A and B are shown apart, each in its own frame.
Chain A
Amino acid sequence: MTLAGRNLTIGYSDRVVGRGLDVALKQGEVLALLGPNGGGKTTLLKTLLGILKPLAGEAQIDGRSLDAFSIRDRARRVAYVPQVHNPTFAFTVETVVLMGRTAHGGLFSRPSSRDREVANRALDEFGIGHLKERAYTMISGGERQLVLLARALAQEPQFIVLDEPTASLDFGNQGKVMREIRALAASGLGVLFTTHDPNHALRAADRAYLLRDGACVAEGEVKHVLTSEQLQELYRAPIERLIDATTGASAFLPG
Chain B
Amino acid sequence: MTQRFIPGLLIATAVLVAGLIVAFAIGRYPVGLGELFDVLWSRASGRPSSAPEATENVILLVRGPRVIAAVLVGAALAVAGAAFQGLFRNPLVSPDILGASSGAALGAVLGIYFSLGVIGIELLAFGGGLIAVAAVYGIGSALQSRDPILVLVLTGVVVGALLGAGVGLVKYLADPYNQLPAMTFWLLGSLAATNAGDLIPLAGPVALGTIVLVALRWRMNVMSLPEEEARALGVATGPMRIAIVVAATLVTSASVAASGVIGWVGLVVPHLARALVGPDFPKLLPTCALLGGGYLLLIDTLARTMAPIEIPLGILTAVIGTPFFIWLLASMQRNWS
Point out residues on A near B: beta carbons under 8 Å. 13, 46, 49-51, 71-72, 74-76, 78-80, 82, 85, 87-92, 95, 99-100, 102-103, 105, 107-111, 135, 155
Contact = CB atoms under 8 A, between A and B. Distances in A.
Interface in B94-116: none
A74 B234 contact: yes
Q: Which of A13, A92, A99, A105 has the most CB of B within 10 A?
A: A99
B234 A111 contact: no
A108 B91 contact: no
B235 A71 contact: yes
Given A102-B222, A110-B217, A91 B279 contact: yes
Given A71-B234, A110-B282, A88 B91 contact: yes
- Bin the interface of chain B by size: 20 to 34
Given A46-B228, A105-B218, A111-B218, A92 B280 contact: yes
Contact of B232 (A80, A88, A109, A111): A80
A107 B222 CA distance: 12
A7 to B, nearest CB: 24
Contact of A108 (B215, B233, B235): B215
Q: Is the interface of B mostly helix, strand, loop or mixed?
A: loop
Q: Which of B221, B233, B235, B279 has the most CB of A within 10 A?
A: B233
B144 interface: yes
B187 to A, nearest CB: 32
19 contacts: A49-B228, A51-B231, A71-B235, A72-B236, A75-B233, A82-B228, A88-B89, A89-B86, A89-B279, A91-B221, A95-B221, A99-B221, A99-B225, A102-B234, A107-B215, A107-B216, A107-B219, A109-B218, A111-B218
Given A102-B219, A103-B233, 20 more contacts: A46-B228, A51-B228, A72-B234, A75-B233, A80-B229, A82-B228, A88-B90, A90-B1, A90-B3, A90-B278, A91-B221, A91-B278, A91-B280, A92-B3, A92-B278, A95-B280, A107-B219, A108-B215, A110-B217, A110-B218
A87 B236 CA distance: 20
Contacts of A72: 234, 236
Contacts of A75: 232-234
Contacts of B217: 110
Interface of B: 1, 3, 86, 89-91, 144, 215-219, 221-222, 224-226, 228-229, 231-236, 274, 278-280, 282
Contacts, number: 82
Nearest to A13: B144
Contacts of A92: 3, 278, 280
Contacts of B236: 71-72
A26 B10 CA distance: 52
A232 B231 CA distance: 37
Contacts of B219: 102, 107
A51 B1 CA distance: 36
Nearest to B88: A88
Contact of B234 (A85, A87, A103, A108): A103
A97 B144 CA distance: 32
Given A88-B90, A95-B221, A102 B215 contact: no
A76 B234 contact: yes
A87 B232 contact: no
B8 to A, nearest CB: 14
List 3 tightest A-B contacts by C-beta distance, closest first: A103-B234, A75-B234, A80-B232
Contacts of B91: 88-89
